[in-house]
C-alpha cells in the first residue's frame, strides 16, 4: 500500500477545473513511459496546472499529505527522468504553455515551462532570434531546463544552462521563489538558477523562465567529411575545435550508423567514418574563408573527401537525419529497447573513447551504433536489445558500465546531456564521490520529505 490513499488524491480535483485533473486509466498509463526501457509505476492521478499560484497550492497540499509529485514535460527523456516510480501525482506542465513575452531589445524571452522549443523558435524567428539548445526531440522548455538539455549546436552556442537567466520555482512545500534576474551579469548571492537547472524536477517545479536568445545566423555552411579510420576522424575533432573557426556543429558518425540511415532514409551518403560540420557566419565571403581553412585542417588529418556546397534543402535533410538517428535505430529493430551511452570526455581523449567504445561493441558482438556530439567530447552509443533476454541485456549494461568507467577515469561524465534519471543513478557515487553526499544534503534541505520526483538521481 502507498502512504497516501485514493481519497487524498481525489481531493485534488477541487484545485483545478475538471478537465485539468484525471484519474483515468489511459491518462495515467500515458505517463509511465519515456523513451527509455524503464517503466514508471501507475500514478494515482494527473494534474495540469495553469499558474504558479495553482502549482503552489497543489504542492502545499501534497506536501502536507505526503504525496509524491513528479513533474512531466514532453516525456522524451532517455533515462526514465519523468516517470513516477512511486506512483503518486504526476504534474503535467504542458498546458502551462504561454510565451509571456519575447523582448528582442534584451535578446530575451519570458516563457512558461510547457512551451515547446520549436514553438518558441517559431515565434522568436519573427524577431530574427532563436533559442539555440536543440535536443533531437521537440521537448518542453521545462524538461530542457530540468535535464540541462543540449544538442548538435552546443559547441558554438552552449547548453540550456547557458540560456537560463531567471526562474520562478515552486519548492516541494509550495513556497515560491524567484532566482536570478534579467540583467546579463550578476554576482549577487548563490547561483540558485543553476542549482535548479539540471536538477531533473527533484528540487521543485519550474513555472516560469527567462531565457536568453541569440540572433539567427545570417549564413550557414554544411560540410560532410569522410576518413579512412574512426581514429583519424575523431582526432581531427580536437584540431577543428582548437582552430578558432568555431564550428556550429561537429558530429561524428560511424559507417555502421550511416549505412542504417542510408537504408532507412535513402540518404545516399558515403559509408565511411565521417564528420558532419556546420559553420555560421555574417557573410558568404567570411564563411568561404572558414571552409577553406577547415578543409585544409581536415586534409592534414587524413580526410579523404570534404564536401560542401549542399543546398539549403540538403542541409536541412542532413541534420534531420542526424537528429532522428535514435528513431531510425529504434524503427529498424522493432520490439527492441535501447540503452543510450551518453558519456563525455575532454576532447583530447575523444579519439580514445570512440575507438574504445567501438571495440567494446565488436568484441562483445553487441548490436550498437557509435556517434556523438564530437566537438563537445560527447559520445553516444545506442545499443539495441531485448530486456527480457537477461544474458543479452546484461551484456549491454556491462558495455555501458565499462565505457562510463573509462570516461570518468579520464575526468569525464556519465551523462553529457540526458541527465541521471533512473538509469544512471548507479554512476553517481563513482563520478562525484563526496560531492554526491553534498548533493544528497542539498536535496534533503530543500525536500526533507523526499516527495519531489522521488527515485531519481539518488540511489
Ligand X SMILES: Cc1cc2nc3c(=O)[nH]c(=O)nc-3n(C[C@H](O)[C@H](O)[C@H](O)COP(=O)(O)OP(=O)(O)OC[C@H]3O[C@@H](n4cnc5c(N)ncnc54)[C@H](O)[C@@H]3O)c2cc1C
29 vs 289, which CB is nearer to a second copy? 289
Q: What are phi and psi of 209, to 5 degrees?
A: -145, 140
User: Judged by CB under 6 A, does residue 108 bind ligand X?
Assistant: no
Counting contacts by CB under 6 A, is residue 205 touching ligand X? yes
Closest separation between CB of residue 93 and ligand X, Å? 4
Residue with grid cell 534531420, as numbered in its chain: 320
Beta pairing partners, 250: 277
35 binds ligand X (CB under 6 A): yes
DSSP string, 180-223: E-SSS----SS-HHHHHTTSTTSS-EEEEEEEE-EEPPSEEEEE
Q: Which does 206 bind (CB under 5 to 8 A by kind): a second copy, ligand X, none?
A: ligand X
Distances from the Cα of 133 to the Cαs of 148, 214, 371, in angstroms? Answer: 9, 11, 19
Which phi and psi angles does 47 have, rounded to 5°? Answer: -130, 140
- Minimum CB separation of residue 129 from a second copy in Å reads 9
Which three cell numbers mark 421?
534519471
Segment interacting with ligand X (CB under 6 A) among 198-206, 246-254, 304-312, 431-439: 198-206
Q: How far is the CB of 390 from ligand X (least distance, A)?
A: 26
Closest distance of CB 290 from a second copy, Å: 8
DSSP state of 349: G
Answer for which of 146, 253, 275, 446 binds ligand X (CB under 6 A) is 146
CA atoms within 13 A on the CB side of 225: 33
With binding defined as CB under 6 A, does residue 217 bind ligand X?
no
Helix, strand, or coil (residue 356)? helix
β-pair type (45-47, 89-92) = parallel
Q: How far apart are CA 22 and CA 333, in angstroms?
A: 34
98 binds, among a second copy, ligand X, none (CB under 5 to 8 A by kind): none
- 376 in contact with ligand X (CB under 6 A): no
Selection from a second copy, ligand X, none that 35 binds (CB < 5 to 8 A by kind) is ligand X
Residues in contact with ligand X, counted by CB under 6 A, come to a total of: 37
DSSP code, position 304: E
76 binds, among a second copy, ligand X, none (CB under 5 to 8 A by kind): ligand X
Does position 77 interact with ligand X (CB under 6 A)? The reply is yes
Residue 326 binding: pick among ligand X, a second copy, none (C-beta 5-8 Å cut-off by kind):
ligand X
Across the beta sheet with 205-212, the strand order is 99-103, 108-111, 205-212, 164-170, 176-180
What residue 140 binds from a second copy, ligand X, none (CB within 5 to 8 A, per partner kind)? ligand X
Beta bridge partners of 452: 69
Nearer to ligand X, 235 or 322 (CB): 322
CA dist., res. 156 & res. 307, Å (int)? 21
Cell of 60: 502545499
Three cell numbers written together for 109: 524571452
> Which of 31, 220, 406, 418 is close enough to bind ligand X by CB under 6 A?
418
State which residue, 171 or 329, has the beta carbon closest to a second copy.
Answer: 171
Q: Which is nearer to ligand X, 76 or 290 (CB)?
A: 76
As a whole number of angstroms, the distance between CA 273 and CA 89 comes to: 46
Say which residues have a Cβ less than 8 Å from residue 246's Cβ, sequence separation at least 6: 156, 279
Q: Which is nearer to ligand X, 298 or 340 (CB)?
A: 340
Asked if 46 touches ligand X (CB under 6 A), the answer is no
CB closer to a second copy, 257 vs 428 = 428
Q: In this chain, which stretch among 6-14, 199-207, 240-248, 269-277 interacts with ligand X, using CB under 6 A?
A: 199-207
Minimum CB distance to a second copy smaller for 23 or for 214: 214
By a kind-dependent CB cut-off of 5 to 8 A, residue 294 interacts, out of ligand X, a second copy, none, with none
Whole-angstrom Cα distance, residue 382 to residue 155? 21
Q: Which residues in this chain contact ligand X in the complex, by CB under 6 A?
A: 34-35, 70-78, 81-82, 93, 113, 135-137, 139-140, 142-144, 146-147, 149-151, 200-201, 205-206, 326-327, 417-418, 453
Amino acid at each position: 500500500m502507498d502512504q497516501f490513499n485514493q481519497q487524498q488524491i481525489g481531493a485534488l480535483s477541487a484545485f483545478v477545473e475538471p478537465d485539468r485533473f484525471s484519474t483515468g486509466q489511459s491518462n495515467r498509463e500515458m505517463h509511465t513511459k519515456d523513451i527509455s526501457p524503464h517503466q514508471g509505476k501507475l500514478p494515482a492521478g494527473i494534474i495540469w496546472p495553469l499558474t504558479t499560484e495553482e502549482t503552489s497550492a497543489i504542492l502545499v497540499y501534497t506536501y502536507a499529505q505526503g504525496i509524491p509529485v513528479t513533474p512531466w514535460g514532453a516525456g522524451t527523456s532517455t533515462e526514465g527522468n519523468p516517470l513516477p516510480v512511486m506512483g503518486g501525482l504526476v504534474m503535467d506542465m504542458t498546458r502551462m504553455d504561454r510565451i509571456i513575452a519575447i523582448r528582442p531589445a534584451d535578446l530575451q524571452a519570458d516563457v512558461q515551462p510547457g512551451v515547446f522549443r520549436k514553438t518558441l523558435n517559431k515565434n522568436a524567428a519573427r524577431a530574427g532570434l532563436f533559442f539555440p539548445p536543440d535536443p533531437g526531440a521537440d521537448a518542453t522548455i521545462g524538461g530542457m531546463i530540468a535535464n540541462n538539455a543540449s544538442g548538435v549546436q552546443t559547441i558554438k552556442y552552449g547548453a540550456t544552462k547557458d540560456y537560463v537567466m531567471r526562474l520562478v520555482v515552486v519548492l516541494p512545500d509550495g513556497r515560491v521563489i524567484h532566482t536570478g534576474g534579467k540583467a546579463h551579469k550578476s554576482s549577487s548571492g548563490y547561483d540558485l538558477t543553476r542549482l535548479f537547472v539540471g536538477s531533473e524536477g527533484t528540487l521543485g517545479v519550474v513555472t516560469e523562465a527567462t531565457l536568453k536568445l541569440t540572433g539567427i545566423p545570417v549564413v550557414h555552411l554544411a560540410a560532410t567529411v569522410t576518413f579512412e579510420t574512426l581514429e583519424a576522424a575523431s582526432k581531427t575533432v580536437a584540431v577543428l575545435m582548437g582552430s578558432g573557426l568555431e564550428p556550429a556543429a561537429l558530429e561524428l558518425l560511424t559507417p555502421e550508423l550511416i549505412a542504417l540511415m542510408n537504408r532507412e532514409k535513402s540518404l545516399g551518403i558515403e559509408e565511411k567514418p565521417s564528420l558532419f560540420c556546420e559553420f555560421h557566419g555574417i557573410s558568404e565571403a567570411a564563411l568561404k574563408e572558414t571552409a577553406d581553412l577547415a578543409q585544409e585542417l581536415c586534409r592534414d588529418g587524413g580526410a579523404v573527401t570534404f564536401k560542401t556546397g549542399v543546398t539549403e534543402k540538403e542541409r536541412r535533410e542532413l541534420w534531420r537525419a542526424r537528429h532522428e538517428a535514435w528513431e531510425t535505430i529504434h524503427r529498424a529493430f522493432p520490439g527492441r529497447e535501447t540503452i543510450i551511452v551518453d558519456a563525455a570526455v575532454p576532447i583530447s581523449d575523444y579519439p580514445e573513447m570512440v575507438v574504445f567504445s567501438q571495440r567494446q561493441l565488436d568484441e562483445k558482438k553487441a548490436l550498437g551504433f557509435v556517434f556523438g556530439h564530437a566537438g563537445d567530447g560527447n559520445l553516444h552509443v545506442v545499443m539495441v536489445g531485448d530486456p527480457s533476454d537477461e544474458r543479452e541485456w546484461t551484456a549491454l549494461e556491462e558495455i555501458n558500465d565499462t565505457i562510463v568507467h573509462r570516461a570518468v577515469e579520464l575526468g569525464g561524465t556519465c551523462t553529457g546531456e540526458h541527465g541521471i534519471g533512473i538509469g544512471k543513478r548507479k554512476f553517481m557515487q563513482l563520478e562525484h564521490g563526496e560531492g554526491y553526499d553534498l548533493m544528497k544534503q542539498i536535496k534533503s534541505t530543500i525536500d526533507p520529505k523526499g516527495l519531489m520526483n522521488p527515485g531519481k538521481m539518488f540511489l
